[in-house]
Structure 1
Amino acid sequence: MTKASAYVKEIQAKIHEKDQHQPEFLQAIDEFLPTIVPFLEEHPEYIESNILALLTEPERFIQFRVPWQDDQGNWQVNRGYRIQFNSAMGPYKGGLRFHPSVNLSILKFLAFEQIFKNSLTGLPIGGGKGGSDFDPKGKSDAEVMRFCQSFMTELSKHIGPDLDVPAGDIGVGGREIGYLFGAYKRLKQYDAGILTGKPLDFWGSKNRTEATGYGAVYFVKHLLTDLGETFEGKKAIVSGSGNVAIYAIEKLQELGAIPVTCSDSSGFIYDKDGIDLALLKEIKEVKRERLTAYAKERPSAEYHEGASVWDFDTPAELAFPCATQNEIDLSQAKRAKANGVRVVSEGANMPSSLEAAEYFIEEGIFYCPGKAANAGGVAVSALEMSQNSQRLQWEKAEVDAKLDDIMKSIYEACRDTAETFDQKNNFMLGANVAGFEKVAKAMFAQGLV
């Protein structure tokens, strides 16, 4: 065993002992640390400085009570969180998630991934994440507003345009960002750069809503270009039906692919003629209904209640998991390969289990990990920060072109880094090492504070 391998195993063991009740965070650690061993072998100074002990510990963890009143006048309470994990590259940047599943483990894994995702963009942003176990589903607009105002009453003490700039995530869209922004403005002052993902009317960025889904497709576009191929005529399996999935489907169709599935927490749609994007947007963005409504309107669609799209057999070359963490296990990864999947591009964060991800790599499937493939969302969030600082709003085409360029740069960094360590097409190693190298250099130069 090399010195680097022994060091990584020692750090892993300590984290497993300290954080044994945080399975998602431990999964992120176990996916990341072994892949950077080759880099550490060439840079023993990082072992000697014990940088991984610092890097795997959040700089700051904030938990707070969020009391709010429902429409019946009853008082409710939820937990609010903000994890400010690493600021070596710039102010903390990462979304807020409102979902019943939110807990410390999930937010720590998301914030840890965010460090390297943000590093890969080449933009000056550090890693953070936050949210609450509040569920916006089934709540009135007034209830969501009162919750957001209470949440921001506490969060406003810990964020700022040069300190920590939250964005949206699952359960936090334009409506929630608007309420949060209004609450911050009333408590502090008007500052357009305090939140990203804002509505366009008050200095949001054009193409921000589309950015994560578009970016996951652009990453694959540059991979296919390397292979001398295009999207034309290729079938795609897509999970999810939120912003990421919808706009991945939109960009896939624009580039000639045929996405045939989408899903929500109740089941999934298989549409043999290809997803009707206009209908999907109407169901999910306007009416906020379940996918059963899509099936009723679309004769070519099959609705599979309570099932996972990854348990369905249909030939496809491309897979875009855009729903949530750990939606693909090892058996489902094997099914994807049997169905002909050659490329997996993660629109969600850590949607493949570690066993599934390793299987994809071992089988020669092009596995594009979330920290690289879905970095388009935070990249355009950082561009929104730039626009806010300039008091300008760029046109959609300009933002889209910058997004495509950033995704090309991320793809090339993953490809080239993997090849440097004789791991051609191992984009997991490429993304982890390329992201880690920048952060480690910055931490080292700043005195490991």
Structure 2
Amino acid sequence: MSSSAQPLEPEFLQAYDEIVSSLRDSTLFEEFPKYEKVLPIVSVPERIIQFRVTWENDKGEQEVAPGFRVQFNSAKGPYKGGLRFHPTVNLSILKFLGFEQIFKNALTGLDMGGAKGGLSVDLKGRSDNEIRRICASFMRELSRHIGQDTDVPAGDIGVGGREIGYLFGAYRAYKNSWEGVLTGKGLNWGGSLIRPEATGYGLVYYTQAMIDYATKGKESFAGKRVAISGSGNVAQYAALKVIELGGNVLSLSDSKGAIVTESGITSEQIAAIAEAKIKFKSLEQIVEEYSVFAENRVKYIPGARPWTHVGKVDIALPCATQNEISGDEAKALVAAGVKFVAEGSNMGSTPEAIRVFETARSTSNSVPDAVWYVGGKASNLGGVLVSGLEMAQNSQRITWTREDVDKELKRGMINCFNDCINAAKKYNKETNENTLPSLVKGANLASFIKVADAMFDQGDVF
């Protein structure tokens, strides 16, 4: 067990155990024993900041909530990772997300360390003015600990363009400095084109690289049946890119239920969901209120995730939250014919689900029969990759074209896939030569080695 992991931190323990199991189930420590010394060091955050956030609500009452920033590792560059405003925010979740972020950022090929932060608050039902006051109070303390060369936060669940704007304005006022200290900014004041789309687009680009490799370039998303969970930013843009590439999007979901359809969710329906989600409407409300759902009917299933309700499926893209595919749901997906599973969410599959997918991969005797799974550490890094590109544009005081950013995003996702494949092959312990390499192990190995080498070079490990 990591020296920093506590029994009451289950999410962090899960993330730590996944990395360790991949490393130990490879030849890395046998070939290079020095790397084993990195584990107890890299699993302890360099710094955890916890602080009080108070504000006046619209009723004139004072409210308080705990704010956090886990600055986990800066060997590869300034701390980088999102801010989450949600009632489920706690130290275990932020440590898990920050730990994952170290390795995800390393896979981008850019100079970024890993961090995560947030506030334990529910923004639903609050006015813009109250949200502005919350952001200003949060940034009052956070501004002491961040900067363009120190720590560059981004958005996450509950922190979209509106919140980033309020946070940036507060930072600028407190520090008397306009700098690229946050990413996900508005295009008119330092933001990057493709940033809102980046995680969803990047997920699809990575999955297309999986399809290309497995089918030797003979297949694509065209004609594929694709199950997607979630209905936020990542799910919306992943679905739009799948539709653009000719795939059939079978489902979306939120915390209250799922929508499924045989005819395929349309881009017009996704536009309606995007508009309504800003107003915190549920999918159930959206399906009832928006005319595009009357024209092309979908089935709403309350209290359900989509995985066991979509029938035959070729590709599954979990894009909601952690542990959203259980072991039984993974078995159902395998039975339904799924061939590619790529996470748009962080740690979207439970350990039991990962075992199901990895077993279906490693025991298959031919590539067409295999199920190929990759975790979010690799497949959902498109967002932070374009955040890194936004930092580069801020440093240059220029804005790149949409085509240039999209080209760099696609190139980065393909490079990440190749790094994962090469590491999986190089340190492979498996004896079945007829199946696909483990992208789970490949992503963990490639990213761990990048971070570990930087830590050795800088004297963090000796």
**TM-score, normalised by the number of residues in structure 1:** 0.94
Which of residues 404, 411, 414 in structure 2 aligns to 1:398? 404
Percentage of matched positions with identical amino acids: 50
Return the alpha-carbon distance in structure 1 between the equivalents of residues 231 and 310 of structure 2.
20
CA contact under 8 A between 1:177 and 1:197: conserved in structure 2?
yes
Residue in structure 1 matched with residue 283 of structure 2 by the alignment: 291
Matched with 1:73 is: 60
In structure 1, the partner of 2:122 is 135
CA contact (8 A) 1:236 1:319 kept: yes
Per the alignment, in what secondary structure is the counterpart of residue 440 of structure 2?
helix
Tell me the distance in 2 between the aligned counterparts of 1:295 and 1:380: 32
Find the counterpart in structure 2 of residue 380 from structure 1: 386
Match of 2:322 in 1: 325
- Alignment correspondent of 2:366: none
Among candidates 349, 354, 367, match of residue 352 of structure 1: 349
CA distance in 1, matches of 2:188, 2:285: 31
Is 1:418–1:427's contact at 8 Å kept on the other side of the alignment?
A: yes
| Aligned partner of residue 118 in structure 2, secondary structure | strand
Give, as a single letter, the amino acid of the residue that structure 1 aligns with 2:447: G
Matched, 1:263 2:269: no
2: distance between equivalents of 1:155 and 1:319? 37
Per-residue deviation at 1:313?
4.2
Shift of 1:415: 1.1
Residue 454 of structure 2 is matched in structure 1 by: 442
Give the equivalent residue in structure 2 for 1:337: 334
Q: Secondary structure at the match of 1:268?
A: strand
The yes-or-no answer on 1:248 pairing with 2:235 is no
**Per-residue CA distance 1:178-212 (angstroms, 9 max, x = gap):** 00000000000232310000111111000000000
Partner residue in 2 for 1:412:
418
Superposition deviation, residue 231 in structure 1: 0.8
Aligned partners of 1:30 and 1:158: how far apart in 2? 29
- Is 1:433 paired with 2:441? no
Contact 2:3–2:43 (CA under 8 A) maintained in structure 1? no
1:255 counterpart letter in structure 2: L
Give the deviation of 1:448 after TM superposition: 1.3
Match of 1:279 in 2: 269
Please say if 1:52 is aligned against 2:39. yes
Q: Which sections of structure 1, spanning at least 5 residues, go unmatched? A: 1-11
> What is the rounded CA distance, in whole Å, between the counterparts of 1:191 and 1:129 in structure 2?
22
Shift of 1:361: 1.0
8 Å CA contact retained: 1:88, 1:439? yes
Match of 1:151 among 132, 138, 149: 138
- Count matched residues: 434
| 1:301-350 CA distance string (max 9 Å, x none) | 11111111123241110000000001111011101111111111100000
The 8 Å contact of residues 313 and 335 in structure 1, kept in 2 or not, is answered as: no
Which whole-Å CA distance do the structure 1 matches of 2:319 and 2:176 have between them? 36
- TM-score, normalized by length of structure 2? 0.92
Query: Are 1:280 and 1:294, in contact at CA under 8 Å, matched by a contact in 2?
Result: no
In the TM superposition, residue 290 of structure 1 has moved relative to its aligned partner by: 1.7
8 A Cα contact 2:82 2:155, kept in partner: yes
The 1-side partners of 2:130 and 2:321 are apart by: 25
- Deviation, 1:85, is 0.3
The question of whether the paired residues in 1 share the 8 Å contact of 2:3 and 2:40 is answered with: no
> How many Å separate the matches in 2 of 1:306 and 1:359?
24
Quick check: 427-436 or 224-233, which moved more? 224-233
Higher mean displacement: 288-297 or 304-313: 288-297
**Deviates most, 169-178 or 310-319:** 310-319
The match for 1:93 among 80, 85, 93 is 80
Deviation at 1:285, TM superposition (A): 2.9
Deviating beyond 4 angstroms after TM superposition, the runs of 4 or more aligned structure 1 residues are none
Partners of 1:138 and 1:280 lie apart in 2 by: 23
Give secondary structure in 2 for the equivalent of 1:93: strand
Amino acid at match of 1:57: V
Residues 366, 59 of structure 1: alpha-carbon distance in 2 compared, 3 angstrom cutoff: same
1:404 is aligned with what amino acid?
K
1:91 is aligned with what amino acid? Answer: P
Deviations 1:13-34 (A, max 9, x none): 655xx51110000000111112
- Give SS of 1:419's match: helix
Given that 1:233 and 1:256 are in contact with CA atoms closer than 8 Å, whether structure 2 keeps it comes out as: yes
**Separation in 2, partners of 1:372, 1:385:** 20
- Whether the aligned pair in 2 keeps the contact of 1:284 and 1:290 (CA below 8 Å) is no
Q: Is the 8 A contact 2:2 2:43 kept in 1?
A: no
How far is 1:84 from its partner? Answer: 0.3
CA distance in 1, matches of 2:33, 2:90: 35
Shift of 1:68: 0.8
The answer (yes or no) to whether the contact 2:42–2:73 under 8 Å persists in 1 is yes
Give how far 1:137 is off.
1.5
Is the contact between residue 85 and residue 159 of structure 2 (CA under 8 Å) also seen in structure 1? yes
**CA shift at 1:421, angstroms?**
2.2
Structure-2 separation of matches of 1:153 and 1:69: 15
| Unmatched segments (≥5 aa) in structure 2 | 362-370, 431-435
**Which has the higher mean CA deviation after the structures are superposed, 184-193 or 152-161?**
184-193
